[in-house]
Chain A
Amino acid sequence: MRAGENLNRALHGLLADDPSVYVLGEDLLDPYGGAFKITKGLSTRFPDRVLTTPLSEGAVVGAASGLALAGGKAVVEIMFADFAALAFDQILNFASKSVTMYGTRVPLPLVIRCPSGGHRGYGPTHSQSPQKHFIGIPGLSLFEMSPFHDNRAVLDRMLALGEPSLLFEDKVLYTRRMFEVDEPFRWDLAGDVAVVRLDSGDSDVLDIPPGDLDYVLIVPGGVAHRALAAMRSLLLDHDLAGVLMVPSRLYPFDPSALLPVLGRAPLVCVAEDGSAGGTWGGHVAAGLHTRLWGRLARPVKLVNSADSVIPTAAHLERDVLVQDATIRRAVLEGPRPAAPASSPRRPRAGRAARPRSRHTSRAGPGPSRWCRTTGSRAAGCSRTSRRPRCGGRPGPARGRRAPAAPATP
């Protein structure tokens, strides 16, 4: 099932199960069903509680807050996350504050859904990932849709908080399949965080063998597939095995359960789609530096989009936004000081975009203990010999665990 369909079903289920839930937003009536079709079918089934609205993001979030204040629950669809700026006063100065500013706790179950991110050619005002603008607001939680977190469970959790929260939904992710990673990786949930790692047969999700922990990537759900592509390439081309962590809740973010793994990792990298400056990754990194001071091998590496508007033309947009190659390069450059190279470069005005220079690799492309054709561990390879053999042997069927390679300490 694709993520968009999973979310659509989650909304259907939510409205069916809880008569106090309302869904409000622009253009969400059938047959249109919302700009990204996430609300398809809702207005036909629940005409009284699915309300199409004028182009008034501020009033829509305000009215949703009123519904929540008066005993209902509300889910607002903002057509493009960029437009959440139009509701910023309601979010910052009313909804989030109302939970605590009246002395006793005032429940305000409100979810604001924000389709975010680029890679669709929608240009500077329809492609942003504005999560960072909402970080650090008391009484406001940030979540992001991910390929690993069931949206119904996420929505239930958000509404149960009794305070407003934003759900960022990467537009490209709508079209991607949920709950799948290709071998040799597997994924599990460690509390709130989906953890993707090499399938080494270990039962405990956070029990990562040292040989499989060359780096850790922490990314919001929208970046997960690019991170997975980077991981595959790092494994096959550079013999680097890493762990991917995808939290459902971006803020507040509690890394406590992850610290044992993060403290052992030679490199921790946070990758996100937001533009440079005041980023979510910077916030996460500050927390990790404090909690793991003296244990981290090096500063947390940050990957984000360029300090730039997001251009419309595909080749220009690609240059500004985080790609899987950006993440791969950041991991390979890990030991070096963080440089602007960890962000895509903003092309200079008046100059044609130049093709991205190929990165230099740490391990260098070459023989790997991983079989390029199957993506499985090559027979007889050992972690320490950097001269594995790969017979091109077919690996185990998808979904089954690959046999653990003998590791020599």
Chain B
Amino acid sequence: MRLLLAFQEVFLVLERPMDRLSDDDLALLLLIRFFELKLLALFERGELNGTTHTCLGQEYVPVALRTLLRESDWVFSNHRGHGHYLARFEDPEGLLAEIMGRKGAICDGVGGSQHLKRDRYLSTGVQGQSLSVAAGVALRLKRHEPGALACVYIGDGTWGEGAVYEALNLAQLWRLPLLVVVEHNGIAQSTPTALQMAGTVEGRARAFGIEHERLDISDISVIRPRLAPRIERVREESRPLVVEFATHRLGPHSKGDDTRPPDFPRADWFAAYQAAHPVQSARIEAAARTRIDRIAAEVAARPPAVWAVA
């Protein structure tokens, strides 16, 4: 009961039929969905080394933000970052090569799933540490490229790290164009929110005088217009903003380690979307599956990545 109550605080609302998405958005969403499912399948077959953290169920967050972010913006991602990367670059080949340690890997196979850097996109594997780095980048942007911002993706679990609060303080103190995107999926690895967080994300952001926007829907057509003016203010007024998405992690934390009871709420935006838009969904799903299957076969056949610069 306690778990359910905790979850309801951030329960994703899927009550109304989802609005129709553009083919491009849906294709990107399903590219991420089937990329992640492919990873889990490859792991099951023993074809992947190490670990991974899939963003199944959360795909719409970076896809919604895709049109609101600019190339001049920096994006800081985390351990659950495949969707963030694919939404920015639509480069499943490079990402899979990175995860499989094959030629053409984004970071020569050194970084792997959770340590990626490409242009102004960067992910790290330690919770909370990227916020202050993003604050430093935002300071540099404010001085040299006004209008650009630094966007940091974090989870609900990240709020346990003191580093978050040091960085939020700096961001508000120095009026930095820092966009903090919280993917609040109600579960930090195996620990539900109620067992790890006192108070709320909103209360914590407001304590610093930082504005907070909460989104408990997965309709991209609703999310974008709601966020667009808020993000514009981040750019124009050079101020931080915390955007909290109530979302659901459908899959395990990493692989095969989901200890949640079967009745633990897990709403899937795609199931709802399929119900509302079956024809478009089927068409694009088939294309996404085919594309991912082809990429997986092609990347697996590549030679190992070579780390040229030590």
Residues of chain A touching chain B, judged by Cβ–Cβ distance below 8 Å, are: 48, 51, 53-54, 56, 58-72, 74, 89-90, 93-94, 97-98, 100-106
Which of A65, A102, A105 has a CB less than 8 Å from the CB of B136?
A: A65
Instruction: Tell me whether B108 and A69 are in contact (CB under 8 A).
Output: no
Instruction: Tell me whether B139 and A103 are in contact (CB under 8 A).
Output: no
Q: Can you give 16 contacting A-B residue pairs, CB < 8 Å?
A: A53-B170, A54-B166, A56-B166, A58-B163, A59-B166, A59-B167, A61-B132, A63-B167, A63-B170, A67-B137, A70-B141, A72-B140, A74-B136, A90-B133, A94-B130, A106-B117
Which of B109, B125, B131, B140 has a CB less than 8 Å from the CB of A103?
A: B109
Q: Enumerate chain B residues within 8 angstroms of A63, measured Cβ to Cβ.
A: 132-133, 135-136, 139, 167, 170
- In Å, the complex CA distance between A101 and B124 comes to 10
Q: A58-B163, A93-B124, A93-B126 are in contact. Are A101 and B136 (CB under 8 A)?
A: no
Q: A70-B136, A102-B116 are in contact. Are A93 and B129 (CB under 8 A)?
A: yes
Which of B137, B166, B310 has a CB less than 8 Å from the CB of A69?
A: B137
In the complex, which residue of chain A has the Cβ closest to the Cβ of B117? A102
Q: A66-B139, A93-B126 are in contact. Are A59 and B132 (CB under 8 A)?
A: yes
Which of B110, B126, B136, B307 has a CB less than 8 Å from the CB of A66?
A: B136
Q: Enumerate chain B residues within 8 angstroms of A104, measured Cβ to Cβ.
A: 107-108, 308-309
Instruction: Tell me whether B110 and A89 are in contact (CB under 8 A).
Output: no
Q: Enumerate chain A residues within 8 angstroms of B134, measured Cβ to Cβ.
A: 66
Instruction: Tell me whether B307 and A62 are in contact (CB under 8 A).
Output: no
B138 on the A face (CB < 8 A): yes
Q: A56-B170, A58-B166, A70-B141 are in contact. Are A64 and B136 (CB under 8 A)?
A: yes
Q: A56-B166, A89-B163, A103-B108 are in contact. Are A94 and B124 (CB under 8 A)?
A: yes
Instruction: Tell me whether A103 and B141 are in contact (CB under 8 A).
Output: no
Q: A56-B166, A89-B126 are in contact. List 19 more A-B contacts (CB 8 A).
A: A56-B169, A58-B132, A59-B166, A62-B135, A63-B135, A63-B167, A65-B132, A65-B133, A67-B139, A67-B140, A69-B122, A70-B141, A89-B129, A93-B125, A97-B115, A100-B110, A101-B107, A102-B115, A104-B107
Q: Enumerate chain A residues within 8 angstroms of B138, measured Cβ to Cβ.
A: 66
B111 on the A face (CB < 8 A): yes
Interface size class of B (residues with CB under 8 A): 35 or more
Q: Enumerate chain B residues within 8 angstroms of A56, measured Cβ to Cβ.
A: 132, 166, 169-170
- In Å, the complex CA distance between A62 and B110 comes to 22
Instruction: Tell me whether A70 and B137 are in contact (CB under 8 A).
Output: yes
In the complex, which residue of chain B has the Cβ closest to the Cβ of A64? B136
Most buried by B among A63, A69, A100, A105: A63
B151 on the A face (CB < 8 A): no
- Of residues 137 to 177 in B, which have CB atoms within 8 Å of A's CB atoms? 137-141, 143-144, 150, 162-163, 166-167, 169-170, 173-174
Q: Enumerate chain A residues within 8 angstroms of B170, measured Cβ to Cβ.
A: 53-54, 56, 59, 63
| Nearest 7 interchain pairs by C-beta | A66-B136, A62-B132, A103-B108, A59-B166, A63-B136, A103-B107, A102-B117
B85 on the A face (CB < 8 A): no
- Min Cβ gap B166→A in Å is 3
Q: Enumerate chain B residues within 8 angstroms of A101, measured Cβ to Cβ.
A: 107, 110-111, 115
- Min Cβ gap B146→A in Å is 14
- In Å, the complex CA distance between A105 and B116 comes to 13
In the complex, which residue of chain A has the Cβ closest to the Cβ of B135? A63
Instruction: Tell me whether B169 and A54 are in contact (CB under 8 A).
Output: yes
- In Å, the complex CA distance between A114 and B111 comes to 30
Instruction: Tell me whether B309 and A103 are in contact (CB under 8 A).
Output: yes
Q: Enumerate chain B residues within 8 angstroms of A51, measured Cβ to Cβ.
A: 174
